[in-house]
Amino acid sequence: MDVNKKWRLILGPDSDPESLEELDSDIKNIDSSLSLLYDKTENNLLRRSRVKLNEWLGDIRNLFPRDKTIFLQKEAIEKFKINELLFEEETFSNLTPDLELIKTILNLKDQIPDERLEDVKSLVKEFAADIERKIAWNIQNSVYSNLSKSDPTYYPYRRFIDWKKTIKRNLKYYQPDLDAIVIQRLYGHNIKSSGLPEVFLVVDSSASMSDSVIYSSIIASILAHIRTIETSLIIFDNGFVDLTDQLDDIIKLLFNIQLGGGTDIKKALRFTQTKIKNPDQSYIFLISDLYDNYNDATLFDLIKHMKDDRITIHCMLSMDQKGKLSFNKPLVNRLTDYEIPCYAASPDTFGEALGKAISGNY
């Protein structure tokens, strides 16, 4: 597409009232779809006509790549306030699942008609399964390669051989005639046999953390299927709820999350303390921007006390794809000064962060 046609699409039909710039049929369809959304004289068609809206949703799926389709879909939902139309069969069948749509569905879950409920759940499950496919291996690999290690040994099982260390220690046995290193001694770890490590995801569900609570729930569901650890999920606002018993059903889990509300971090952490069996093998990921409705000093003292009790605690300022721009900087500074890690993460990098927390090499 040449630059004049691109500018014509960007500026809209009013920029070329005499139709001097000829558009082929595909570009005309794109122009028409964009005009329905952004042209004030035309977008009333989408407001007034459900049929037109449904056609438009289908058209953008055919005309634009997935990321652009999701963006335009979000624009329409926000611009035209079509929340009440989302669950109609014709509209719903044309929707493309993404995080913003899932948040909208969860916020409106009490308005879902009974006859649409299974279709809505299928869409949410499709979104969760797509995220899980992308991140599950990385998380599982971190658990198997870190939590399953115990004392060093010269006789490790093959999967627990530390190849980097083994090669480095055996370099002196290099044989020039073979052009190879002859391994004289293996280095690795035994399988850990005493008790199951515990991983706690303690997640802030306030409005600013809505992306994080959805992603964290999916991560907790992945962890719950790893039988060599015990996983807990605690969601909190002014109160808290322990959703650990729902981790085997991601749809039930997501539909029981309440997004929004205030923030009492201490209450959730104190409850988490009551669940800890072995501090030396307990790993808490507090997923919050650390804006507490109460007293920062008291919260700092509680987290410090948990660290002093040999509990590994990491503060994840977000768990989303954007990174966290807003967080409680004074409290974060105090925590990092006390060597309590505070950082933003994403679903893609959680496995790496988990591995570092377990190994103590963060």
Whole-prediction pTM: 0.71
In the chain, the domains with their CATH numbers are: 3-96 (no CATH), 149-191 (no CATH), 198-359 (3.40.50.410)
CA gap 236, 288 in Å, rounded: 10
Question: In whole angstroms, how far apart are CA 18 and each of 2, 25, 115, 159?
Answer: 19, 18, 49, 71
pLDDT in tens, 292-306: 888 899 999 999 999
- Mean pLDDT for all residues in the chain: 83
pLDDT in tens, 121-143: 998 999 999 999 999 999 988 88
- Is it the case that residue 239 has pLDDT exceeding 60? yes
The number of helices, as runs of H, and strands, as runs of E, in the chain is 15, 10
pLDDT value of residue 330: 96
**pLDDT tens digits, 8-18:** 666 666 555 55
Per-residue pLDDT at 216: 96
Cα three-residue angle 232-235-241, rounded to 5 degrees: 85
Q: Residue 208: which pLDDT band, with cuts at 50, 70 and 90?
A: confident
Reply yes or no on whether the pLDDT at 315 is more than 90.
Answer: yes
Percent of the chain having pLDDT more than 70? 82
157 pLDDT above the threshold of 80: no
Full DSSP string of 228-293: TSEEEEEEESSSEEE-GGGTT-HHHHHHT--------HHHHHHHHHHH-S-GGGEEEEEES----S
Q: Provide mean pLDDT across the span 307-312.
A: 94
Residue 259 predicted with pLDDT over 60: yes
Look at residue 57 and tell me whether its pLDDT is greater than 80.
no
Query: Which of these, 246, 196, 242, lies nearest to 221 by C-alpha position?
Result: 246
Q: What average pLDDT does the segment 72-97 reach?
A: 73
CA distances from 278 to 19, 220, 331 (A): 74, 20, 27
Higher pLDDT, 58 or 201: 201
Under the banding of pLDDT at 50, 70 and 90, the label for residue 50 is: low
Which tens digit of pLDDT belongs to each residue from 212-227?
Answer: 999 999 999 999 998 8
pLDDT attached to residue 332: 96
pLDDT in tens, 15-29: 555 554 566 666 777
